[in-house]
């Protein structure tokens, strides 16, 4: 619940910037609110997945210590707004996100910006793989789940780099759900049984990949990733950091152990949670809280007295 307070605060503070076209202002407001609330949490946290280096503020930067220094030592992944462009444009699926695991368990992939990913529900384990073709993955997953290929929906970031991937999905007979941004929500929805998304594919941010892995541990879903350097310089930077850019990463390679928490609060409405809204004198937020050790998924709907946030 302490973590939820931080994502709720970040989401609420981002609201005045929804649809205003200034993603940096929205991100700055969310960062300031999240940092303030994280400072009250009973843990000794180090940000492994943040937004960059300290001198590029506003951001919660890699290596920054958060929490009050008491309690368990933790690795932290933060994204005060996953979907700053969505927020600035007033579009759906913007989230405020925090993921936590034991100290030393979260892969630091910050030297490589992108990661190729595949995410499904638990039925994908031992069935789909990044080493298989897109068509084979769709057909094999169809057989594993008993869902006809023609009814399957594959989430993909709507980027020029994915033009060929989108063609392969449609050629296999499945449909696409093109996401403007926010592939954390896309990956989580692919692993949840009550959504229409069956699989999430494509190249997105490596920080988002690690964050998604924390959530997948609690959902029991399947995920693989492979780092995708943009050029030789980034490949060399990854190798200097001890990363194997050709390795096929399983969830356990991204986040070790069975003690992860994932928390997300909606900034704008989306398929995972509803966005912040004003209801009379109250501000209503919806959050999702996932814990791997217990395998629980909780939804937290909170009402905050608006005058306290003026």
Give the mean pLDDT per block of 10 residues along the chain (310 residues): 93 96 93 91 91 56 88 93 93 94 94 95 96 98 97 96 98 96 90 93 94 94 96 93 94 94 96 94 97 94 93
Does 27 count as an annotated binding residue? yes
Structure confidence at residue 16 (pLDDT): 95
Are 186 and 179 in contact by the 8 Å Cβ rule? The answer is yes
The partner residues of 116 in beta bridges, in order of sequence, read 203, 226
The answer to whether 208 is annotated as binding is: yes
Q: What is the dihedral of CA 296, 87, 53, 34, to 10 degrees?
A: -50
Q: Which of 49, 94, 81 is nearest to 207 (CA)?
A: 49
How many of the other CB atoms lie within 10 Å of CB of 256?
A: 17
User: Tokens 């709507």 map to which residue?
Assistant: 158
269 labeled binding residue:
no
Q: How many residues belong to the chain?
A: 310
Check whether 114 is labelled as a binding-site residue. yes
Q: Is 198 annotated as a binding residue?
A: no
DSSP, res 94 = -
Mark out the alpha helices in the chain (DSSP H runs).
2-14, 23-38, 84-89, 134-145, 163-171, 183-191, 206-219, 232-240, 251-254
Instruction: Provide the pLDDT for residue 62.
Output: 86
Q: Provide the token pair at 58.
A: 């506003």
**Residue 245, token pair as written in the block:** 């850019």
Give the whole-angstrom CA distance, residue 51 versus residue 60: 6
What global pTM score does this model have?
0.92
Smallest CA-to-CA distance from 2 within 43, 31, 33, 60 is with 43
Does 182 show up as a binding residue in the annotation?
yes
The predicted structure's pLDDT at residue 178: 95
How does strand 199-205 pair with strand 153-157?
Answer: parallel
- Rounded Cα distance between 231 and 1, Å, is 41
CB atoms within 10 A of CB 50: 23
Q: What is the DSSP letter of 241?
A: T
Domains and CATH numbers, the chain: 2-102+259-308 (3.30.540.10), 114-254 (3.40.190.90)
In three-state secondary structure terms, 47 is: strand
Q: Is 84 annotated as a binding residue?
A: yes
Q: Is 193 annotated as a binding residue?
A: no
What pairing do the DSSP bridges indicate for beta strands 114-120 and 95-102?
A: unpaired
51 is in an annotated binding site: yes
145: nearest Cα among 169, 168, 128: 128
pLDDT at 242: 93
Is 194 annotated as contributing to ligand binding? no
Check the annotation: does 205 bind a ligand: yes
Count Cβ atoms below 10 Å from residue 45 Cβ, excluding itself.
24
Supply the pLDDT for residue 250: 97
* CA angle, 238 then 239 then 243, to 5°: 70
């Amino acid at each position: 619940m302490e973590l939820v307070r931080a994502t709720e605060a970040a989401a609420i503070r981002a609201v005045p910037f929804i649809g205003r076209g200034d993603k940096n202002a929205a991100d700055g407001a969310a960062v300031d609110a999240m940092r303030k609330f994280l400072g009250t949490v009973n843990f000794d946290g180090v940000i492994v997945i943040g937004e960059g280096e300290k001198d590029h503020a506003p951001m919660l930067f890699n290596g920054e210590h958060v929490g009050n220094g008491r309690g368990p030592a933790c690795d932290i992944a933060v994204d005060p707004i996953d979907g700053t462009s969505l927020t600035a444009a007033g579009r759906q699926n913007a989230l405020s996100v925090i993921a936590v695991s034991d100290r030393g368990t979260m892969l630091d992939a910050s030297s490589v910006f992108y990661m190729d990913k595949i995410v499904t529900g638990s039925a994908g384990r031992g069935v789909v793989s990044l080493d298989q073709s897109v068509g084979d993955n769709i057909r094999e997953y169809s057989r594993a789940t008993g869902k006809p290929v023609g009814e399957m929906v594959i989430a993909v970031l709507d980027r020029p780099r994915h033009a060929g991937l989108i063609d392969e999905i449609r050629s296999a007979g499945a449909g696409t759900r093109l996401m403007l941004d926010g592939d954390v929500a896309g990956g989580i929805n692919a692993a949840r049984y009550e959504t229409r998304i069956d699989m999430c594919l494509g190249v997105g941010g490596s920080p988002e990949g690690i964050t998604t892995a924390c959530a997948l541990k609690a959902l029991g879903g399947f995920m693989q990733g492979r780092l995708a350097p943009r050029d030789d310089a980034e490949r060399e930077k990854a190798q200097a950091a001890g990363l194997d850019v050709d390795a096929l990463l399983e969830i356990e390679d991204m986040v070790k152990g069975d003690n992860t928490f994932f928390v997300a609060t909606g900034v704008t409405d989306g398929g995972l949670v509803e966005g912040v809204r004003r209801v009379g004198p109250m501000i209503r937020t919806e959050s999702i809280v996932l814990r791997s050790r217990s395998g629980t998924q909780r939804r937290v709907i909170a009402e905050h007295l608006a005058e306290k946030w003026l």
